[in-house]
Copies of this chain bind each other. A is one copy, B any other.
């Protein structure tokens, strides 16, 4: 088989390869049942690494184009619709059930963020230059004075860290006890544990639409039925929520009420009240994701739902990944005593417990009160970068693109006008050296419009200006092409006389 592979192309080689294979399957030149060459052979023939070919095949497999059988090889699927397939050892069917998103694109996101040649706005991460390397290094050395820091530890987490978290939560008006805190491997694991502990296949779970990608992935992997509640500039729409509560019997509602990812929106205070009231009426448990809560740039951030939860309906989660460093992989859940049993069982099953060394080091760091100073510093830095992105968007972004300035968190959310293809914008942006996140990954169902998310915290104001300007040109080009096409379509349908 021959392929057109271009190493200098921004599209990764494995995607070039999988696209061309897909084309042949579509066209029938590779019919159902045909065997693809072994990874090793194709890699040798094309001068690629085996991993590249493997990734291309995985991509095809995720899309349902091929089926792989361990020991036999990879075959063109009988049904070449992007549906689910069985391997010899099959992937769980729902693991790949977001057919409107290229799985390769998802896997790209993190990789893109680490490409030094890109100005990447892709990942909602903090700025590496703010990491308190010296303070954390010292805290780790302190923790190492007790060799038990390198041993097994309690599943719920090290007590000093749970105490520090309970103290730190007072800043967000959440009054809890260390007994109610469970230390997790970041917010992603916190979400995974709550789903694992309380939700079964087929249960309905409500989310904001759009919502955090990591929640969608986990929930679909579990075979959960995700229902999106639309948002407006005040957050989740309560009228729509009321409707879906009547319609479905949801098990859980997952929400990012403060500096929502990806939109940056905060849930209005009167909606907070209405949401808690509805939760009471419908015996609904709420999972509140507050990982961005402390990152407010204009005035005091809204208080979390958990601070007004008098009935234990809210499981609260937070993380040190966005406000301090992701590399410790430490976050937390705050739950009622009644909820802790299943959560602890899920944590023990997942990975026994988090590293006692890193937990004790973080407890030491927090115990010295160093987080408050760090937060002042990063808030100031990110405010500057937020402002830089705002200015750059005002200058470069075509008028037809909608966006507003977030008052906190890490991202801008752009709604593209009809006719613009988000995936094209995504791949062309990478070609021009700018990494972005395609908005569709944040939707539990394929969205009607195209969106992109731009994260500003990890880039300098100069890079933000350059990147947004490139992106603005690209969007302008797209709009011009679209309106020319529209005009031509219009002319072509004009009556000849």
Q: How far is the CA of A454 from the CA of B58 in the complex (A)?
A: 45
Q: How far is the CA of A474 from the CA of B99 in the complex (A)?
A: 62
* B interface footprint on A320-334 (CB within 8 Å = 1, 0 otherwise): 010001111100000
CB < 8 Å: which of B91, B133, B151 contacts A342?
B91
Given A54-B337, A70-B339, A218-B349: A123 touches B152 (CB 8 Å cut-off)? yes
Question: Is residue A487 within 8 Å, beta carbon to beta carbon, of the partner chain?
Answer: no
Q: Which of the 9-residue segments A124-132, A265-273, A424-432 touches chain B?
A: A124-132
A283 touches B345 (CB 8 A): no
CB < 8 Å: which of B92, B133, B192, B312 contacts A147?
B133
Question: Is residue A30 within 8 Å, beta carbon to beta carbon, of the partner chain?
Answer: no
B92 touches A197 (CB 8 A): yes
Q: Which residue of B lies closest to A352 (CB)?
A: B188
A114 CB contacts on chain B under 8 angstroms: 148, 152, 154
Question: Is residue A472 within 8 Å, beta carbon to beta carbon, of the partner chain?
Answer: no
Residues of A58-89 at the interface with B, using a CB-CB cut-off of 8 Å, are 58, 61-62, 68, 70-71, 74, 87-89
B349 touches A351 (CB 8 A): no
Q: How far is the CA of A252 from the CA of B115 in the complex (A)?
A: 38
Question: Is residue A387 within 8 Å, beta carbon to beta carbon, of the partner chain?
Answer: no
Question: Is residue A34 within 8 Å, beta carbon to beta carbon, of the partner chain?
Answer: no
Q: How far is the CA of A196 from the CA of B346 in the complex (A)?
A: 13
Residues of A112-148 at the interface with B, using a CB-CB cut-off of 8 Å, are 113-114, 123, 125, 128-129, 131, 133, 136-137, 140-141, 144, 147-148
Q: Which residue of B lies closest to A96 (CB)?
A: B345
Q: How far is the CA of A407 from the CA of B100 in the complex (A)?
A: 55
Q: How far is the CA of A61 from the CA of B340 in the complex (A)?
A: 12
Residues of A251-266 at the interface with B, using a CB-CB cut-off of 8 Å, are 251-252
Given A152-B327, A345-B91: A313 touches B71 (CB 8 Å cut-off)? yes
Q: Which residue of B lies closest to A219 (CB)?
A: B349
A477 to chain B, nearest CB (A): 31
Question: Is residue A217 within 8 Å, beta carbon to beta carbon, of the partner chain?
Answer: yes
User: In the complex, which of the residues A95, A196, A329 has the most CB atoms of chain B within 10 Å of its own CB atom?
Assistant: A329
Chain A interface residues toward B at CB < 8 A: 39, 49-51, 54, 57-58, 61-62, 68, 70-71, 74, 87-93, 95-96, 103, 107, 110-111, 113-114, 123, 125, 128-129, 131, 133, 136-137, 140-141, 144, 147-155, 177, 179, 185-186, 188-189, 192, 196-198, 200-201, 214, 217-218, 221, 251-252, 280, 283, 285, 311-313, 321, 325-329, 336-342, 344-346, 348-358
Interface CB pairs A-B, < 8 A, 27: A57-B338, A58-B338, A61-B341, A70-B312, A71-B311, A87-B342, A88-B285, A89-B252, A90-B198, A92-B196, A95-B346, A113-B152, A114-B154, A128-B150, A133-B144, A133-B150, A136-B150, A150-B327, A151-B326, A186-B351, A188-B351, A196-B221, A329-B351, A329-B352, A329-B354, A350-B351, A351-B351
